[in-house]
Amino acid sequence: MAAFNLFRKKDNIDWVTLPQPDDTVSFFETVKKESEIFWADTSPNKGIYGFQIQQDSKWRQGLNDTELQEFENSIGFSFPTPLRNFYKTMNGLTKQGINLYGNNGTQPAFRSVFYSYPDDLKLIQEQIEWIYEATSVKKEDLESLNVSRIFPVYGHRFMLVDIPGNPILSMYGDDIIFYAENLSKLLANEIFSGVIYNVSDFESPPNSQPEIKFWLD
């Protein structure tokens, strides 16, 4: 690993060293600071499809306790600690994500990538309802079925609200796969892919996927 890092440094890559991915406010504050520095010097890739972060994007100010309570009331359940810590620190971005459609001549589209409150409340609710409809489950039946509730954090990456550690699934309709062990690892790998110096701290060990009732049965 040391030789690899030295080789990459010769390519003038600016590495990001992050603290342990523990879903604390302190971790999210570091991500907030380092990502804004990263985005100031990073432009969307014109050759790919999908929504990307725009250059010079910044995080909006986090929510206070009253705003968090209002957010939870609007969604219909209390947030787990990692999600509360995330929204206490930042609340979406100042710029919407951009889809350049591989630079094929299609007019760029814009959409929130990280969801904010209250601006994206309707979009959050639509995302959740979309998954329920695609998987033929009603939200009022989740508790009786002992199925975890879900919450979209980034694009179609959803947090499992009721499972210890709050792992992340990629959920696109009924196309569902395990994606990350926790919110911290999701953010780090999505934002800083390829430039995390202590990358081993953000990799999932073999056989780390938890048993997840219904969603991954």
Report the pLDDT value the prediction gives residue 143, as an integer from 0 to 100: 87
pLDDT score, position 204: 86
Q: What type of residue sits at position 173?
A: G
| Other Cβ atoms within 10 Å of 115 Cβ, number | 20
Please name which of 170, 174, 147, 173 lies closest in space to residue 159, comparing C-alpha atoms: 170
What average pLDDT score do residues 98-108 get? 94
Supply the DSSP symbol for 204.
P
* Neighbour count for residue 131 (Cβ, 10 Å): 21
87 confidence band (pLDDT: 50, 70, 90): very high
Domains identified in the chain and CATH numbers: 2-202 (3.40.1580)
Average pLDDT over the chain reads 92
Peptide bond into 44 cis (omega under 30): no
Rounded Cα distance, 23 and 58, in Å? 20
What is the per-residue pLDDT across 8-52, written as a single tens digit (0 to 9) for each?
Answer: 333 566 899 999 999 999 999 999 999 999 999 889 999 999 999
State yes or no: pLDDT of 1 exceeds 90: no
| Mean local confidence (pLDDT), 161-168 | 96
User: Rounded to a whole number, what is the distance in angstroms from the first to the last CA of the chain?
Assistant: 36
Beta strands in the chain (DSSP E): 51-52, 59-61, 90-93, 97-99, 109-111, 150-154, 157-160, 168-172, 175-180
